[in-house]
Structure 1
Amino acid sequence: MPPSLQDVGLAVKRLQWRHHREANRRLAPLGLSLAQWDVLRHLHAHPDASLHDLAVLTFQTDQSMGSLATRMIDRGLLQRRDGPGRAVRHRITDEGDRLRKAGSEVLDTVLTDSLGRLPEQDLATLHRLLIAAGATGPGPDD
């Protein structure tokens, strides 16, 4: 008997929860949370992103992203830059980039402990299926 959609959804959520919990635990010695590392990762990939852009990319509200960015600016991980018009853009600092790289190594170990155990072909299939499932219905921009 195949698993129900609820069983599959719960399995995805449990794995996500495990990744989040373990990532936060292993990032703590760097002084980072998973949310902070995710901001650094996305800002590295999208320099000069606005707060709204970062909120969408990191699955946060504009308000929570604003609070998080302020704390990260105070720690010297991000800097604000004037953009066109009244827009405020953000850049990662050298210290933020150092922690992004160190955090990436941490996340690689977290993911290796679970997903890394899958054979390469299964991992490719899982990726394809998750992309396909995520491509339907409302997304973070809806």
Structure 2
Amino acid sequence: MPGELQILGRAVKQVQYRQHRALDTALAGVGTTLAQWDALRAVGRSPGASGRALAAATFQSEQAFGTLAGRLTARGLIERRAGRGRALGHHLTPAGSRVLAAGHRVADEVLAECFAPLTAAERTTLLALLGRLAPDDRGGPGTSG
């Protein structure tokens, strides 16, 4: 029989999974996926960042982020420009900014529904507790997804 920590770990994963599914479904309505929108968020937060930095910010391997960035570039949502040394800097295009903004609206609605069973005080407590477990991560995919 699993111990309390295993049950807690599974509960966190289950909530995250449901949140990600709901976000992915809703974001399809604005023409993006959760992974794409999360990448746009990371680029928007750190214009000019390298693929390595953005991969870390989106919890992906550099190779996976490179593939995703290639798709976003092909769709005209981001552009890559010469950065420091051989690194390419990533920047939102106007179309990418529009998709990002639409995604923020969708995410706000989905997350409001996901966290509706909690009071404002409970959400504040949950955020504080999670912040103690992941003190270096602010605004990562979990806030989306």
Cα separation, 2, equivalents of 1:83 and 1:133: 34
Query: What does residue 19 of structure 2 align with?
Result: 19
Compute the TM-score of the two structures, normalised by the length of structure 1.
Answer: 0.90
Deviations along 1:70-91, one digit per CA (max 9) or x if unpaired, are 0100000000111122111010
Task: After TM superposition, list the pairs within 5 Å mapping 1:1-142 onto structure 2.
Answer: 4-135=4-135
Number of residue pairs matched by the alignment: 134
Name the amino acid aligned to 1:80. Answer: R
Structure 1's consecutive aligned runs of 4 or more residues displaced over 2 angstroms after TM superposition are none
Higher relative contact order (CA 8 A, sep 6+): 2
Compute the TM-score of the two structures, normalised by the length of structure 2.
Answer: 0.88
Cα separation, 1, equivalents of 2:116 and 2:125: 13
Name the amino acid aligned to 1:70. Answer: G
Question: Considering only aligned residues, what root-mean-square deviation do their CA atoms show, in Å?
Answer: 1.4
Percent identity between the aligned chains?
Answer: 43
Cα separation, 2, equivalents of 1:83 and 1:135: 29
1:67 Cα deviation (Å)? Answer: 0.4
Gaps of 5+ in 2: 137-145
Cα separation, 2, equivalents of 1:135 and 1:86: 31
Name the amino acid aligned to 1:13. Answer: K
Cα separation, 2, equivalents of 1:6 and 1:60: 24
1:135 Cα deviation (Å)? Answer: 3.8
